[in-house]
């Protein structure tokens, strides 16, 4: 067990190594306890007004009971947190939100202050109706892996005319499902591993029973933080505090896709001018990238420096100059799925971020050659309508 965001969390479970846990999830199904994450909701007819201010995503166009990854933005366009937000009704008066455990204090203060600012601004127009509420009394667990669908399906109550309710339940969608024992669970088909899977919100009083039912299947094992991190790294996903913080904006973080096209003209979200300038003229100084090692060596961890090796050609010979630092690693480890090749994420100077660019990473005062590559590092297996063959 290790401390994490004020909680005691399992790094590994008994009789499993990190690599075994990682590979099991890629081939079977892993169950993650993510109850430490903050579940909350926005309620009120003016939810969209708030979301349009604090995120760059057009949640008005998100279908009901579908979720979208986005970011909460401070006044300078920096990322307060990354978040999954789900639209709850046609009137856009209910949204469910999941944010990171290590940002609970900051996120709470952020929502309270932003709602206060919006209500102050709206006093002249008969006020603003939006409220942020923490959801208490619910656990959250994630079932991830290629066998997740079969495992969850086996526990569902069989309803007339619905032999396979999960067949038309797609990535990003949210549904309330009923288990064979009458327990209701709120489920989103999503996750943090790149695999097909489900995030399951359930009342605290039923959490242990649901977890045991999932673990009773021989294809399911409990998985700890160590594998959760290496799985998300292979999937090219950000970890708040590593790849994201309040000084980094979505353009720098290579998250331009969270900025809806409909919000790019007069979007009026926090940091709009700065973000759109960087998006349009590519003036951001740094860019988040993925890299892989070109030869064996110790993995580069967060804080390791990234260098460019410059070679000048003279009339008679090539002269190698001392390496120049052009970036920093944010996450790195061996990739179990890629035969333990070292991979990582980091930030480098804009212009030196193109795929195939050769660079150097410094670990323990030695330099190791790396190459910028496309993320994710491994194929993802999200269950989408065009790829829905099971």
pLDDT in tens, 347-365: 999 999 999 999 999 999 9
* pLDDT tens digit sequence for 67-93: 999 999 999 999 999 999 999 999 999
For residues 105-131, average pLDDT: 92
pLDDT at 126 over 80: no
- What is d(CA 305, CA 315) in angstroms, rounded to the nearest whole number? 32
* pLDDT tens digit sequence for 266-312: 889 999 999 999 999 999 999 999 999 999 999 999 999 999 987 55
Task: Report if residue 382 sits inside a domain.
Answer: no
Looking from the CA of 207 toward its CB, the CA atoms found within 13 Å total 18
What is the chain's alpha carbon radius of gyration, rounded to the nearest angstrom? 22
- Which pLDDT does position 295 carry in this prediction? 97
Task: Read off the pLDDT band of 127 (50, 70, 90).
Answer: confident
Q: What percent of the chain has pLDDT over 70?
A: 95
Co-location of 324 and 305 in the same domain: yes
Task: Read off the pLDDT band of 140 (50, 70, 90).
Answer: very high
Number of domains in the chain: 2
Domain that holds residue 357: 285-373
Nearest Cα to Cα of residue 80 among 58, 51, 109, 60: 109
- Which residue bears the tokens 């081939």? 27
332 in helix, strand or coil?
A: strand
- Tokens for 210? 């649901």
Cα separations in angstroms, 179 against 23, 68, 159, 214: 28, 26, 11, 11
Co-location of 13 and 105 in the same domain: yes
- What is d(CA 354, CA 294) in angstroms, rounded to the nearest whole number? 16
Q: What is residue 153's DSSP assignment? A: H
Spatial neighbors of 268 by CB under 8 A, at least 6 apart, are: 52, 53
Task: Report if residue 383 sits inside a domain.
Answer: no
pTM > 0.85: yes or no: yes
Q: What is residue 50's DSSP assignment? A: H
pLDDT at 389 over 60: no
- Which pLDDT does position 245 carry in this prediction? 99
Task: Report if residue 116 sits inside a domain.
Answer: yes
Co-location of 273 and 350 in the same domain: no
- Which pLDDT does position 282 carry in this prediction? 97
Tally: H helices and E strands in the chain:
7, 21
User: Is 199 annotated for ligand binding?
Assistant: yes
Task: Report if residue 386 sits inside a domain.
Answer: no
Co-location of 240 and 323 in the same domain: no
For residues 17-41, average pLDDT: 99
- Averaged pLDDT of the chain: 95
Co-location of 269 and 289 in the same domain: no
Co-location of 49 and 128 in the same domain: yes
Co-location of 218 and 365 in the same domain: no
């Amino acid at each position: 067990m290790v401390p994490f965001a004020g909680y005691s969390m399992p790094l590994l479970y008994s009789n499993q190594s990190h690599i075994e846990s990682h590979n099991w999830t890629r081939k079977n199904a892993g169950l993650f306890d993510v109850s430490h994450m903050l579940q909350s909701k926005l309620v009120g007819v003016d939810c969209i007004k708030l979301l349009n201010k604090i995120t760059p995503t057009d949640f008005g166009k998100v279908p009901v009971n579908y979720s979208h990854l986005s970011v909460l933005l401070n006044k300078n366009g920096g990322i307060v947190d990354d978040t999954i937000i789900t639209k709850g009704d046609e009137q856009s008066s209910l949204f469910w939100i999941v944010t990171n455990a290590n940002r609970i204090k900051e996120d709470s203060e952020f929502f309270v202050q932003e709602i206060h600012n919006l209500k102050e601004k709206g006093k002249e127009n008969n006020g603003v109706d939006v409220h942020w509420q923490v959801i208490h009394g619910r656990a959250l667990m994630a079932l991830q892996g290629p066998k997740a669908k079969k495992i969850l399906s086996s526990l569902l109550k069989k309803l007339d005319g619905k032999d396979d309710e999960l067949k038309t339940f797609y990535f990003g969608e949210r549904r309330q499902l009923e288990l064979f024992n009458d327990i209701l669970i709120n489920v989103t088909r999503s996750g943090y591993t790149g695999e097909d899977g489900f995030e399951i919100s359930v009342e605290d009083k039923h959490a242990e029973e649901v977890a045991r039912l999932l673990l009773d299947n021989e294809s399911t094992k409990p998985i700890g933080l160590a594998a959760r991190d290496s799985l998300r790294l292979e999937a090219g996903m950000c970890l708040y505090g590593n790849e994201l913080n309040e000084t980094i904006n979505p353009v720098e973080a290579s998250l331009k896709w969270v900025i809806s096209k409909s919000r790019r003209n007069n979007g009026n979200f926090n940091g709009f001018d700065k973000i759109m300038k960087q998006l349009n003229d590519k003036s951001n100084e740094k860019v988040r990238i993925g890299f892989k090692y070109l030869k064996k060596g110790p993995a580069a961890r967060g804080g390791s420096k990234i260098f460019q090796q410059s070679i000048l050609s003279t009339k008679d010979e090539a002269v190698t100059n001392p390496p120049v630092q052009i970036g920093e690693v944010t996450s790195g480890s061996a990739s179990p799925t890629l035969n333990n090749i070292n991979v990582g994420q980091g930030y480098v100077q804009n212009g030196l971020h193109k795929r195939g660019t050769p660079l150097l990473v410094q670990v323990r005062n030695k330099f190791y050659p790396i190459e910028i590559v496309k993320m994710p590092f491994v194929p993802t297996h999200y269950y989408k309508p065009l790829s829905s063959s099971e």
